[in-house]
Amino acid sequence: MVDKSSSDAYWKANVRIILISLVIWFVCSFGMGIILRPALMGISVGGADLGFWMAQNGSIYVFIVLIFVYAKMMNKLDREHGVEE
C-alpha cells in the first residue's frame, strides 16, 4: 500500500504537469491565435501571418506534441512513485 505522503506528492506532481500543459495550450491557441494576432501579423509562415497560422494549424500541432510530452512525463512520474502498469 502506498503511504499518504507519497500519494499526495504523486497527485501534486500530476496536477502540476496538467496545469503547465493547459497553460501552454491556452497561450498557443487562444493567446497567439486571438489575443496576440495583431502583433504577429508581420511574421509570415507558409504564406499566412503567424497569428492566423497558429489559430488554424499551429495550436493543433502544439496540442499533439503536448499529448506525447504528457504521456512521457506521466510514465516517468509513475515509475518514480511505483505505480506504473
Q: Which three cell numbers stand for residue 40?
A: 504577429
Q: What tens digit of pLDDT does each residue of 44-81 get?
A: 888 888 888 888 888 899 999 999 999 999 999 999 98
Rounded Cα distance between 64 and 70, Å, is 10
Q: Please give the Cα distance from 38 to 52 (Å, whole number).
A: 10
How far is it, in rounded angstroms, from Cα 24 to Cα 22? Answer: 5
pTM: predicted TM-score of the whole model, two decimal places: 0.79
Mean confidence (pLDDT) of the chain: 89
> Domain boundaries in the chain?
15-81
